[in-house]
């Protein structure tokens, strides 16, 4: 389902072992204070450009994009975005007629992009939504459009007959999009590399709730689990992954616990920025964290001694476009 909030797509789209280039377009019926058209581009989870109907310019949002692409690139992207803006207004009128809507706030959204996986394989998507429901999408392998709503059949039948544009769209998704994704990854190599999380235990609510906090990591995908005496705690609560102000992410997982209990609590974290699983031990006397990297076979006493040294160091301050898709001719791209 396409939604106005993009975080769900960014978090759940491409897998951890892949890179993606995604464009999101949103057209709305007129509403005071809200642009009628907005488009944004993302490489992985980094917003790198944006355009809206009020600014009327495509603007770089990452320094590495601005430094590597000249004024002609941004002017070309601006003109393409203006074309999409015009097409979307026509499509909203058509969708209102098809769905027998006369008033209220309505949206058309489009997600277009591609994915490059670590094994060299690729994926792609070209999907429209209307008022938060899937409307129509392109199946590039079968070269047909797929709709889940009855009123979308008219559009499907018309677009299926446009073999030239369907071939052009397939070429963009499988070729041009992947080529530009590779360029963008090269431009932003330093900013797009994984950053490992900082992990610690905290206790709140009069020391009756124990929380494992992972923060400062990138990309978004992470797995955090709590254990009691070696057994996974399935009922642990979670904030879900949330963005930090600097483009990194954070997540808290917590559980109720008895501070007088002799049970041993651990937090196990898996993330692309870590070479191996990270295990953090809860120490009730010091409320400290003792990170241990799994995979080194040592006796427990040696592991804790090493972790204590690491803790002391930490306490001393050791640093913890593709160009936008090509348009059909205005008539060919309308929903009619």
pLDDT in tens, 151-173: 999 999 999 999 999 999 999 99
**Mean pLDDT rounded to a whole number for the chain:** 83
Fold classification of 7-191 is: 3.30.500
pLDDT at 291: 44
CA atoms within 13 A on the CB side of 169: 25
Cis peptide before 108 (omega within 30 of 0): no
Percent of the chain at pLDDT above 90? Answer: 67
pLDDT at 86 over 80: yes
- CA–CA distances in Å: residue 30 to residues 108, 207, 267: 13, 51, 49
Tokens representing 286 are 């010091």
Report the CATH architecture of 194-315: Sandwich (2.60)
Residue 332: per-residue pLDDT:
36
At 199-250, the pLDDT tens digits run 999 987 777 899 999 999 998 999 999 999 999 999 999 999 999 998 899 9
What pLDDT shows up at residue 283?
84
Distance, in Å, from the CA atom of 58 to the CA atom of 78, rounded to the nearest integer, reads 5
Q: How many residues are present in the chain?
A: 336
What are the helix (H) ranges across 99-176? 153-160, 163-171
Dig out the tokens for 313 from the structure.
Answer: 């160091």
Q: In what order do the strands lie in the sheet with 231-232?
A: 231-232, 223-228, 265-270, 278-283, 288-293
pLDDT of residue 261: 86
Residue 199, Cβ density class (10 Å: 0-12 exposed, 13-18 middle, ≥19 buried) = buried
Domain boundaries of the chain, sorted by first residue: 7-191, 194-315
**108 near 95, Cβ under 8 Å?**
yes
Distance of alpha carbon 144 from alpha carbon 323, whole angstroms: 24
pLDDT tens column, 91-125: 999 999 999 998 899 999 999 999 999 888 999 99
Please state whether beta strands 242-243 and 237-238 pair in parallel, antiparallel, or not at all (unpaired): unpaired
The answer to whether the 7-191 and 194-315 domains have the same CATH topology is no
């Amino acid at each position: 389902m396409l939604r106005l909030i993009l975080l769900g797509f960014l978090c759940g789209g491409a897998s951890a072992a892949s890179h993606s280039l995604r464009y999101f377009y949103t057209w709305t019926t007129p509403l005071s204070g809200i642009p009628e058209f907005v488009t944004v581009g993302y490489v992985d989870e980094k917003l790198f450009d944006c355009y809206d109907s009020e600014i009327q310019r495509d603007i770089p949002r990452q320094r590495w994009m601005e430094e590597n692409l000249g004024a002609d690139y941004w002017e070309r992207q601006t003109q393409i975005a203006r074309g999409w803006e015009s097409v979307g207004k026509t499509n909203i009128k058509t969708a209102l007629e098809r769905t027998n809507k006369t008033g209220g706030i309505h949206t058309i959204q489009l997600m277009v992009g591609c994915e490059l996986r670590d094994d060299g394989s690729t994926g792609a998507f070209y999907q429209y939504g209307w008022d938060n429901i899937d409307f129509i999408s392109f199946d590039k392998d079968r070269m047909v459009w797929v709709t889940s709503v009855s009123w979308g059949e008219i559009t499907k039948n018309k677009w299926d007959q446009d073999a030239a544009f369907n071939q052009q769209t397939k070429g963009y998704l499988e070729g041009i999009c992947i080529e530009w994704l590779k360029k963008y990854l090269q431009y932003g190599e330093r900013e797009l590399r994984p950053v490992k999380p900082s992990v610690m235990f905290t206790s709140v609510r009069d020391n009756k709730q124990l929380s494992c906090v992972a923060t400062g990591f990138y990309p978004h995908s992470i797995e955090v689990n709590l254990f009691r005496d070696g057994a996974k705690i399935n009922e642990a609560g979670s904030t879900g992954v949330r963005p930090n102000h600097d483009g990194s992410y954070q997540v808290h997982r917590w559980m109720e616990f008895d501070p007088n209990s002799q049970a041993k609590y651990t937090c196990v974290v898996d993330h692309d920025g870590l070479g191996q699983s990270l295990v953090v031990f809860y120490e009730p006397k010091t409320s400290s964290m003792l990170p241990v990297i799994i995979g080194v076979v040592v006796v427990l006493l040696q592991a804790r001694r090493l972790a204590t040294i690491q803790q002391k160091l930490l306490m001393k301050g050791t640093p913890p476009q593709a160009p936008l898709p090509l348009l059909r001719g205005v008539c060919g791209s309308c929903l009619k």
